[in-house]
Amino acid sequence: MIWNNVLKNTEYKKKYVEYVKNWEEKIHSLLVFDPDRPTPGKAEGGSALSNIPYVVKDNIAVKDFRFTCGSKILENFVSLYDAAVIEKLNTLGAVPIGKSNMDEFGMGSSTDNSALAITNNPWDLERVAGGSSGGSAAAVAAGITPFALGTDTGGSIRQPASFCGVYGLKPTYGSVSRYGAVAYASSLDVIGVLARDISMTETVFDLIKGKDEQDQTTTEYIEDKRNLQKPVFGYLVGDLGLSDSVAKAYKNCIDILKSKGYEVKEIAIPSLEYVIPAYYTISTAEASANLAKFNGIRYGYRSKGTESPLALMKKSRSEGFGEEVKLRILLGTYVLRSGFQDKYYIKAQKIRTKIINDFNNIFGNIDLVVAPAFPTAAFRHGNADLSPYQQRLADKFSAIANLAGIPALSFPAGVYDNLPVGLQFFAPHYSEKLLFNAAKIIAEEIPVPKVPGFKTIEEICEAPRG
């Protein structure tokens, strides 16, 4: 595999860097690109990831790289250490060569909420790459790296993966250490993988998962080995509010599973309609606490010319945070204010319990749920296609998995009107293997799409003929 050689061979590297720069002029997926970063570890000869380049969402710490979270408040901040996942990948010899753009602090579905760059979808530069891990998804779809890391609190790995035509894994809550990742909503956040290849997705997940003393929410990974041979699938019926292309892709996927002889049952998730109020109550409440530390005192952006510490904090936060982040901090403090917790926060927690119970019931009868990842394919920059409100409502299919803590994988489900459409599988806790196997079944019929201009690493490095 040439990916292992690309950074070591001067000729290959030159061609590779040129390829990346060509794409980057168009898509702006990366906030940092540094192919000269020295290979971190002395990987034992056998590591599948030895010398393989990858990019990291900019809310995960990589030593000596900028660490902005897509925010002006951290615009010039540089990480002093590696996140636990990066340390693990270092020991395997993988090389982080860049930081990818994202919606500020993970808040959004477009990456347009980044204060630092606008990322374009490689399939159509007028459209968003999705978010909040939009830079990671765009980079992988363009063939810049064979995999990327992202984070998912309410869909931020799966939404951009589906908009760009790649795989996006949101692992079981607590299965991957978040030490070194900046928290958005701690009871929902998880680090995961984006890749064009399902085996690569699986390989990277297997290598980063597991208990870590530095993150007390991680647990020993004990695989759930249910029905791997002949899983039973469930799918949603009724009006799901999907665009034509997503509805077609959804039907086609169900038909494929049936035609291959799998049992496919109709299911309902009664709590689906309550996901958005619960998600936006819980995530903003947690965000308001998590983002309190960005106050201009200890690090990050500091406003000038203020007269008191309080004024300094107020002004630094007012100038340093973007609109979406401010809105969510305000909403979070509103739902938590004293005397009102019963009305919002506690109610949201009850919905969360209901969602967990719904999945317990569902997984009593079936093994995997097939669901849309997002109601539409990639939308255009700005609010013409989808208003900010509609963008938030669209999170229901993805945020439900975060509220339940279950693993979910979005997978390429075809190209319609020149845009990729993604769907997702949900599985019970600790059964990522089921997700990978199901994705392989679909991949036999629907190959991973190649965006026009995409080259494999072999094609990039091929000697010129003549």
- Residue with smaller CB distance to ligand GLN, 401 or 419: 401
Contacting ligand GLN within 408-427 (CB under 6 A): none
Is 106 near ligand GLN (CB under 6 A)? Answer: yes
Using CB under 6 A as the criterion, what x/- string covers residues 117-156 for binding ligand GLN? ---------------x-------------------xxxxx
Active site residue 47: no
| Pairwise CA distance, residues 161 & 149, whole Å | 12
β-strands 167-170, 408-416: how paired?
A: antiparallel
Q: How far is the CB of 140 from ligand GLN (least distance, A)?
A: 17
**Binding ligand GLN by CB under 6 A: which of 68, 100, 109, 203?**
109
Using CB under 6 A as the criterion, what x/- string covers residues 179-198 for binding ligand GLN? -----x--------------
| Pairwise CA distance, residues 155 & 141, whole Å | 18
DSSP annotation of 270: G
Candidates 71-79, 100-108, 309-317, 372-380: pick the segment binding ligand GLN (CB under 6 A).
100-108
β-strands 167-170, 233-236: how paired?
A: unpaired
Is 104 near ligand GLN (CB under 6 A)? Answer: no
- What are the tokens at 195? 């890749």
Candidates 103-111, 196-204, 210-218, 368-376: pick the segment binding ligand GLN (CB under 6 A).
103-111
Other Cβ atoms less than 10 A from the Cβ of 222: the count is 8
- What are the tokens at 298? 């200890």
3-state secondary structure 134-177: HHHHHHHHCCCCCEEEEEECCCCCHHHHHHHCCEEEECCCCCEC
- Residue with smaller CB distance to ligand GLN, 132 or 290: 132
Residue 187, CB-side half-sphere exposure with 13 Å CA sphere: 15
Q: How far is the CB of 266 from ligand GLN (least distance, A)?
A: 27
Q: Which residue number has the CB closest to ligand GLN? A: 156
Is 224 near ligand GLN (CB under 6 A)? Answer: no
- Residue with smaller CB distance to ligand GLN, 33 or 67: 67
Among the options 29, 79, 100, 132, which is catalytic?
132
- Residue with smaller CB distance to ligand GLN, 141 or 182: 182
β-strands 167-170, 190-195: how paired?
A: antiparallel
β-strands 124-128, 120-121: how paired?
A: antiparallel
| Pairwise CA distance, residues 79 & 180, whole Å | 9
- Residue with smaller CB distance to ligand GLN, 7 or 117: 117
- What are the tokens at 367? 């093994």
From residue 300, how far is each of 65, 317, 319 by CA, in Å?
15, 10, 12
Q: Is 138 left (phi over 0), alpha (psi -120 to 50) or beta?
A: alpha
Is 290 near ligand GLN (CB under 6 A)? Answer: no
- Residue with smaller CB distance to ligand GLN, 33 or 321: 321
| Pairwise CA distance, residues 143 & 461, whole Å | 12
Among the options 15, 57, 72, 99, which is catalytic?
57
- Residue with smaller CB distance to ligand GLN, 40 or 150: 150
Is 379 near ligand GLN (CB under 6 A)? Answer: no
- Closest alpha carbon to 367 in 162, 246, 271, 227: 227
From residue 274, how far is each of 132, 278, 394 by CA, in Å?
22, 6, 12
- What are the tokens at 154? 């309410």
Is 70 near ligand GLN (CB under 6 A)? Answer: no
Q: How far is the CB of 324 from ligand GLN (least distance, A)?
A: 8
β-strands 368-372, 264-267: how paired?
A: unpaired
Contacting ligand GLN within 344-363 (CB under 6 A): none
Active site residue 398: no
- Residue with smaller CB distance to ligand GLN, 29 or 109: 109
**Binding ligand GLN by CB under 6 A: which of 20, 107, 129, 404?**
107
Active site residue 156: yes
Is 100 near ligand GLN (CB under 6 A)? Answer: no
Q: Which residues bind ligand GLN (CB under 6 A)?
A: 106-109, 132, 152-156, 184, 395
**Active-site residue list:** 57, 132, 156
